[in-house]
Amino acid sequence: MNTIDLKTIYIPSKNVVSREIEGEIIIVPLVAGIGDAEDDIFSLNETGRAIWKLLDGKRSLSQVVAVLQEGYDTEKEEIARDVIGLITELEKRQMIIKTGSE
């Protein structure tokens, strides 16, 4: 199983388009084979939206966790678990790509 390193930097794939609609981020694949056959449209809740917006190709996942920790009254470890969980799912669905590491 591929493990997520918090030093890794990600950006959204060019093969998806995302839009914010009524407080949710909706991600739609632009090419076949992206996403999940059962769920072509992927939506993110408030936490997922915050993470998605921070995937700018400049911040590592550890920096994403640090930014989120400033805005949420939650333990760093819990935020890191949430970030890793979402990144694992987005990477599996080919909705994000690695661009480097800190």
Q: What is the pLDDT of residues 47-82, one digit of tens each?
A: 899 999 999 999 999 999 999 999 888 999 999 999
83-94 tens-digit pLDDT = 999 999 999 989
Percentage of the chain lying above the pLDDT 70 cut: 90
Cα separation of 29 and 71, whole Å? 30
CATH number of the domain enclosing 33: 3.90.930.60
Q: 52-72: string of b/e by CB count within 10 Å (b at 16+)?
A: bebbeeebbbbbbbeebeeee
In this structure, is residue 1 part of a structural domain? no
Look at residue 41 in the predicted model and tell me its pLDDT: 82
Look at residue 102 in the predicted model and tell me its pLDDT: 85
Cα separation of 3 and 9, whole Å? 14
Number of independent structural domains in the chain: 1
3-class DSSP assignment, residue 15: coil
| pTM for the full predicted model | 0.86
Residue 12: give the domain boundaries: 8-101
Helix extents (H) in the chain: 46-54, 61-71, 76-92
Look at residue 33 in the predicted model and tell me its pLDDT: 56
For range 30-47, the mean pLDDT? 71
